[in-house]
Structure 1
Amino acid sequence: MSAKYSNLKTKFIHVVQAVGKLKYTDSSYRSPLTKWGNRLVDAIRNYAAKWLKEEGQDPQAAKRVKENVGFSDGIMQGIRDQTPPDGDYHTKSRTRSNRHKNDWGRSL
């Protein structure tokens, strides 16, 4: 597998895991979704898992998409870039010791 493809696949997984935060988290990123919003989040996660499984390059990739939600460092930086200087708790830089246990990489 080319490095470019591998990098794209990793970013795709990060996006899908971030979308999962809208539904499957206990933090402030959870959003009150409509019936259709709930279906959309699940459809995105199911589509990604199916696509990754069909690609067959990395059997664990589909499992990670279905079982984990969270923000990659790149997505978290994108959130920080949009935060006003006074910001709020959920967008300030956090280390493993001071972040909320459900903020990054939560397993379902």
Structure 2
Amino acid sequence: MYPTRADRRAACDQVERRIRAAVDRLPAGHQPDPRQARISRLRDINERLAGELARTNTEFTLLKERHRLLLSVLAAKDDELERLRRELSTFAGTHAARSQRRAGGQRSVRSFY
């Protein structure tokens, strides 16, 4: 069920043997430096973050270009709408003047009521 004290001691001895074997494989006088491992890990993280930042900047640039394009399309549609409104008001004014001349300044005979 639970490991006995002897089992735990054997596991600890095995771990210590593995550590000594790993240290023995290192060149003479070389101790593993935890700072070097940390520096390596931080460099890897930095490279990954730099890649993500580059992708984000590219995506942001594409979105800004699309935004500018859509704004110009919207401005063109607004200009056309204003032109059509002016045309409609000109047509309505011309049409009203013509109908008044035909009726002699009086109301038209036709009634929609």
TM-score, normalised relative to structure 1: 0.23
Higher helix share: 2
TM-score, normalised relative to structure 2: 0.22
